[in-house]
């Protein structure tokens, strides 16, 4: 389900959204690019420690300051029974970074 939201945005911001849509390619519209950016910004606010990056396979959430995509950390965490401390010790990251990744995964089951 979706709803229509009308926003009045400055021309400069529209230009930035258009450039982002063009960067994403595949005919991404201004509207689709805006939804992607808004969703990512809200997720980053909910989970401070997550950031979105453009990759060769599209936009993906990463654990900030680790260089690892969430899906990579989750794959490793599965090997350690989803234990945050053992996973953190294995990847040599702070346990807080692993906790953010696990919590994000629990909420979004992706990454």
pLDDT digits (tens, 9 = 90+) for 74-98: 999 999 999 999 999 999 999 999 9
Q: How far apart are CA 76 and CA 84, in angstroms?
A: 10
pLDDT band at residue 67 using 50, 70 and 90 as cut-offs: very high
The distance from CA 84 to its chain's CA centroid, rounded to whole angstroms, is: 20
For residue 31, is pLDDT > 50?
yes
The domain spans of the chain are 10-46, 49-111
Residue 65 has a pLDDT of: 87
0.85 surpassed by pTM: yes
């Amino acid at each position: 389900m979706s709803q229509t939201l009308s926003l009045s945005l400055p021309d400069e911001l529209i230009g930035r959204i258009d450039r982002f849509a063009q960067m994403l390619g595949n005919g991404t519209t201004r509207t689709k690019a805006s939804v992607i950016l808004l969703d990512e910004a809200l997720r980053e606010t909910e989970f401070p420690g997550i950031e979105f990056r453009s990759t060769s396979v599209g936009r993906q959430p990463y654990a900030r300051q680790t260089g690892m995509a969430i899906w990579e950390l989750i794959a490793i965490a599965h090997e350690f029974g989803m234990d945050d401390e053992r996973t953190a010790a294995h990847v040599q990251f702070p346990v807080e970074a692993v906790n953010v990744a696990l919590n994000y995964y629990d909420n979004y089951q992706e990454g």
